[in-house]
């Protein structure tokens, strides 16, 4: 029998515009069980593979309960028959194939002697205009390397290797060419060799935007006065970074009992493509997902700080014609209706009951991608796949 294995050489994460490479190995291994049906061999020690092709596809899965789609798209599913001798990008996919590369023939009429193997290299350059990998509640973008195989007289089999695609083209990077020279590099780390030299400028720009500190102070107030002074050192962060800020209650005239801050993503679908809940209802609200959260009781505090990690598995900010992903910090402040009276610094008893009110505030931020090698170390995705014919 024939064993086909594929391995992604560059890892499971790529940039849009990058080149994806895969090593495909065809092996003639001894069969331990009985011969399957439709088995044809030229000799007892030889195996024949009719053909094998490879291509990259992007599948867009749309939730019809949240997004307006045509029935032909939502029910898109193409199956393969035993008499089929070709591979369609839609084969075996439930969803809309919005992108597919031209299939490349790897082998044709390949004869493998007993216990032999042969390797082939597949390479393809991904376009720069592709959307990133995204697993939203309304829309999902997923990428995979699809390898089609067929032995003579047998049905077509598929070998799929999923991978993650990040894009910096949809982040709206400003032009920072005049400041590229001040980007600081770590002399204790080995210089990473970029697969595509055109990524040098975007990576340096993202590093500059996320490493440059420009503190911003926000005076948070409610109807009774100032609650806190919030200081954030920057508004743009890369995957894997920590969002750090300070809170100053020293000049506040409203007593803050506790606060919490959450890192949230906003999945926004254009209004003309949103699904209405009812015939007379409004459009469905934006989809909000919470990730890391920081919570602290701050009664009696003069100053404190917050720290929120940005997970490596999330999708950075992007905007397409189908969906836009935005990020924000969601603050909740629990304040006292009447200011607390302190009887002394060392002798104070908390009240048995306290009238409180909650204040909510959202602060938009931008999440940028980081190097694919950094993200690959945190993912548990596989770079290998095997199928037996």
Question: What separation in angstroms does the CA of 190 have from each of 11, 123, 245, 274?
Answer: 18, 26, 31, 48
Element spanning 376, H or E: helix 372-378
Distance, CA of 239 to CA of 32 (rounded, Å) = 47
User: What is the pLDDT, as a whole number, of residue 209?
Assistant: 62
To the nearest 10°, report the CA torsion of 88, 93, 96, 100: -40
User: How much is the pTM?
Assistant: 0.80
Distance, CA of 274 to CA of 326 (rounded, Å) = 17
User: What is the pLDDT, as a whole number, of residue 245?
Assistant: 93
User: What is the pLDDT, as a whole number, of residue 284?
Assistant: 55
Per residue in 131-172, pLDDT (tens digit) is 999 999 989 999 999 999 988 778 888 999 999 999 876 555
In the numeric block, which tokens belong to residue 3?
Answer: 């064993």
Distance, CA of 70 to CA of 75 (rounded, Å) = 9
User: What is the pLDDT, as a whole number, of residue 354?
Assistant: 85
* Segments of the chain scoring below 50 in pLDDT: 41-43, 71-83, 175-184, 192-195
User: What is the pLDDT, as a whole number, of residue 345?
Assistant: 60
User: What is the pLDDT, as a whole number, of residue 185?
Assistant: 54
User: What is the pLDDT, as a whole number, of residue 143?
Assistant: 94
User: What is the pLDDT, as a whole number, of residue 183?
Assistant: 46
Distance, CA of 100 to CA of 46 (rounded, Å) = 34
Within 8 A by CB and 6+ apart from 75, the residues are none
In the numeric block, the tokens 């495909």 are attached to 24
What are the residues facing 247 on neighbouring strands?
230, 304
Is residue 336 within 8 A of residue 355, CB to CB? The reply is: yes
């Amino acid at each position: 029998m024939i064993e086909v294995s594929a391995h992604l050489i560059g890892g499971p994460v790529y940039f849009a515009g990058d080149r994806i490479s895969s090593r495909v190995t065809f092996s003639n291994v001894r069969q331990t069980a009985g011969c399957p049906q439709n088995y044809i061999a030229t000799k007892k020690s030889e195996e024949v593979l009719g053909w094998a092709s490879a291509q990259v596809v992007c599948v867009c899965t749309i939730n019809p309960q949240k997004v307006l789609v045509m029935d032909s798209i939502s029910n898109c599913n193409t199956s393969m028959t035993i008499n089929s001798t070709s591979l369609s990008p839609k084969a075996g996919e439930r969803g809309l194939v919005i992108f597919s590369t031209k299939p490349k023939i790897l082998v044709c009429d390949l004869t493998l002697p007993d216990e032999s193997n042969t390797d082939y290299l597949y390479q393809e350059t991904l376009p720069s205009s592709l959307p990133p990998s995204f697993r939203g509640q309304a829309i999902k973008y997923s990428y995979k390397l699809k390898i089609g195989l067929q032995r003579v007289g047998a049905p077509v089999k598929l070998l799929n290797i999923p991978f993650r695609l990040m894009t910096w083209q949809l982040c709206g990077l400003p032009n920072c060419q005049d400041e590229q020279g001040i980007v600081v590099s770590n002399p204790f780390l080995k210089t990473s060799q970029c697969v595509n030299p055109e990524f040098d400028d975007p990576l340096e720009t993202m590093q500059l935007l996320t490493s440059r500190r420009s503190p911003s102070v926000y005076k948070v107030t409610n109807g009774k006065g100032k609650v806190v002074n919030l200081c954030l050192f920057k508004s743009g962060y890369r995957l894997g970074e920590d969002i750090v800020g300070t809170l100053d209650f020293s000049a506040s005239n409203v007593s803050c009992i506790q606060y919490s801050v959450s890192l949230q993503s906003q999945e926004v679908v254009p209004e003309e493509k949103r699904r209405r809940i009812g015939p007379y209802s409004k459009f469905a609200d934006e989809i909000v997902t919470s990730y890391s959260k920081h919570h602290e009781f701050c009664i009696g505090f003069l100053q404190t700080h917050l720290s929120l990690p940005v997970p490596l598995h999330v999708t950075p900010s992007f905007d397409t014609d189908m969906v836009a992903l935005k990020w924000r910090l969601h603050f909740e402040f629990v304040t006292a209706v009447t200011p607390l009276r302190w009887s002394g610094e060392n002798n104070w008893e908390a009240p048995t009951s306290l009238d409180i009110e909650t204040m909510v505030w959202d602060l938009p931020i931008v999440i940028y991608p980081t190097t694919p090698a950094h993200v690959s170390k945190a993912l548990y995705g596989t770079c290998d796949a095997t199928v037996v014919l």
